[in-house]
A and B are shown apart, each in its own frame.
Chain A
C-alpha cells in the first residue's frame, strides 16, 4: 500500500471528472505507477526543486534553447520539461504502434492514388473538391513516382487518451513533423537528474531513432545508386527546430546542409564541399514545400535550391517527405481516415478517429452552428494549434464572431466534440507542487520501402496552463519523458 501522505504529492488535487493517468477513480495509485510514486514521493519539496534545476541546466548546457526578447536583452530559455515521466504499458503501446503504422501506410497509398488514378475519388469515397481545394495539393506531383513509392517517410501522429480510457488520433502530421529530438533529450535530462528510477522499470531505449531513420531513408534511394549520400536540409540556425536538424544529422552521421550549400547541374544535385562538388542522393528536408525550389514554387525563397524539383522529377534525388504530402494531413481529410484505411488496407482502423463535422456540408454546418458550445472549431490547414476555438471557453460575443467566420468560408473549418485529454501529475513551479495537467502524445513513425519503424517512446506534451487543452510548444506547452515498458 502506497503512503498517500507523500510530501510532494500531499497537496495534489484530483478532479474526478478528468481521466488521471496515475490515480484511479478511488484515488489509488495505479499498479504500474506505484513504484515510481514511491520513489518520487520520497523526495522533499526542496530536494525536488534541486533536481528540477539540475534537469533545467542539463538542457541549458546542451544548448537546447530558444530565444525570447525581454526589454532590450535577448534571453535564452529552455523548453519546459517535467521530471515526472509518463508510462505507457506494453498492451496499450501495441495498439498505438500498430495503429500508427496502419495510418501511415494507408496515407501513403492514399497519396499515391490522389496523385495517380484517383480511384478513391472516382468511387465517391472522398469528394474531389476536398482535394482540389486543398492548399497543399501540388499539381506538379501528378503522375510522378517517388523513389520506392513512398510519400510520407516520416509521420508524427498526435494521439490522446480520452476520458473513456481509449486512445484517439487528433492529427496526422506528415509534412515536417518535429519534436523527435526532444524525446531523446528528455530521456537524457531525466537520466542525468534521476538515474536511479530507471533501475525499477524495463523501459525501451529511444536512442535508436536516427539509426533506423538512416536505414529506412537508404531504402528509398534513387534508382542506380549503390550507397546513397544522405543529407538533412535545414532553413538555417535561426530556425526554431535547428537543434533537431543538427541532432538528426549528427546522429545519422550525415551532412547538415542549407539550400545555399547545394546546386543542381544536369538535373543532379550536388553539395559544395572543400574538395569540390559531391553528389547528393537522398534529402531529408526540413523545409516546407513552398520553399524547396524557387524555380518551381515560391520564387522568393532563398532557403531552397533552384532546379531541385526538376532533379526530383527525373528520379535523380529522393525528397523525404515527398512534396505535396500536406494534402493528406489536412484536417478535412482526417475525417475520412476510417474510410481511407478500409479502402486501401481492407482493415478496421486500430486507433479511434474523433467524430468530425464538416462545415462544408450543409447538414453538418447546421449542427455545428447550433451546438458550438460543445465543440472545438478548427481551421483545416493550420498547424501549431493556431486558430482553434474551444466552444465552452468562448463568450457569447466571441461565439458570434466564430460563427460569422465559419459562414464566410465553411470549407476552412471542421468541428469536433470537445475531447477530454487525460491528465498527468506535473510539477508546477509557482505553487511548488504537483497539479493535474492535460497531456497528449506525438508518435514518430518512419516508412521505408517494405520496412517501417515506430520509435518506442514519443513526445508527451503537457499543457502547462491550468485547464488548458492546447499542448503545442509554441503555445506555452512543456513535455515529459515517455516510457514504453517492455513486456
Chain B
C-alpha cells in the first residue's frame, strides 16, 4: 500500500470516529441539561461552553455570553470552521476519494451518502429543532460505516490502518469527553446534595460515550466518579474504554508490523509499552490524580500517532 494513501486511510478512520463523538456529545449534553438536578448543569451557557471545550475552541474559556444558534451551527454545519462535523465528514470523504481504488464500493458509497446527507442538511432546521435528528443520523451513519469497514474489507493492512486510526481517535475522544465532563463535575459542585463524587455529570458522561446501559448492567448502581472512570478507562470489555481501544490498537499494529521482536524505536514497541501500563493500573492510581491520567493518556495517544506517521507514512 502506498504510504500517502495509508496516511489518508488512517485519517479517514479518525475523521469518521471524530464526527460521531462530537455529534453524540452535542445531543446528550443538550438534552440531559433539560433534566439536570442543579442550576449550573441546567444552564444553557454551561452546556454550550462544554460543547466548545470538546472541539477545543478557545471561546469556551471566555466570559462572553454565547449564542445558542451560533454555537450549534458552528460545531455542526459551519463550512468555515475546521472542527465542524461537516468538515470532519468532508475530510473523511476526501480521504476515501483518494483511496477509492483500495476500499470497497460498499464502503465508499456509504461515506459518499453520509457526506451528501450532512452537506444538504438545512442549517435553519438544524439549529431550530433538528439537533436530535441531525446528530442521531450522524451516529447512525457512522455505525453503518463501522459495519462496512468490518464486513466489506479484507482484514489486511488496509483494514488495520483504518482500525488504527479509528481506535486512536476513539480513545482520544473518549478521554477528551472524560476531561470535559470531569471539569463540568468540578464546576457543578456546591449545589445541594450534589457532590463531585455523585455528580449528575457522570451519567451524562456515560451517555456521551454510549456506555450508560452497559455500565448499569455491570455495576447495578448509580454511577459515581470512581465507578464511571474505572469503567471508561480500565474495563477491557467496555467497547468504548481506553483499555479496549489500546487492545485494538495493539492487535492491529501487529498486522502492519509482523516482526516478533520489535525495534525499541518502532510503533509496535510503543503501543505495547503503553498498553502494559494501563493493563496493570488500578482505580487507586487513577483516583489520586485524575487530571494527570487524562493528560498522560492524551500524550501517549499523540505519541503513537506521531510514531506511526514517521514509521509508515513519511519518506
Contact = CB atoms under 8 A, between A and B. Distances in A.
Interface of A: 60-63, 76, 232, 237, 242-243, 246-247, 249-250, 255-258, 260-261, 271-274
B315 A61 contact: no
Interface residues of B, number: 24
Given A261-B3, A261-B4, 18 more contacts: A60-B116, A61-B113, A62-B105, A63-B97, A63-B112, A237-B94, A237-B98, A242-B97, A250-B101, A250-B102, A255-B2, A256-B5, A256-B100, A272-B315, A274-B2, A274-B6, A274-B161, A274-B313
Nearest to A65: B112
A256 B9 CA distance: 14
A271 B97 contact: no
A63 B108 contact: yes
Contact of B312 (A63, A256, A274): A274
Contacts of B112: 61-63
A382 B256 CA distance: 48
Given A63-B112, A274-B6, A237 B97 contact: yes
Contacts, number: 58
B157 interface: yes
A247 B3 CA distance: 20
B284 interface: no
A37 to B, nearest CB: 33
Contact of A249 (B1, B101, B113): B101
Contacts of B2: 255, 257, 261, 271-274
11 contacts: A61-B113, A62-B105, A63-B100, A249-B101, A256-B101, A258-B4, A261-B5, A272-B4, A273-B3, A274-B6, A274-B256
A246 B100 contact: yes
Given A60-B116, A237-B97, A272 B3 contact: yes
Contacts of A260: 4
B237 interface: no
A301 B94 CA distance: 23
A274 B108 contact: no
A237 B99 CA distance: 10
Contact of B1 (A232, A246, A258, A273): A273
Interface string B1-20: 11111100000000000000
A183 to B, nearest CB: 17
Contacts of B256: 274
A61 B106 CA distance: 10
Of A61, A63, A247, A260, the most chain B CB neighbours within 10 A belong to A63
A472 to B, nearest CB: 24
B130 to A, nearest CB: 19
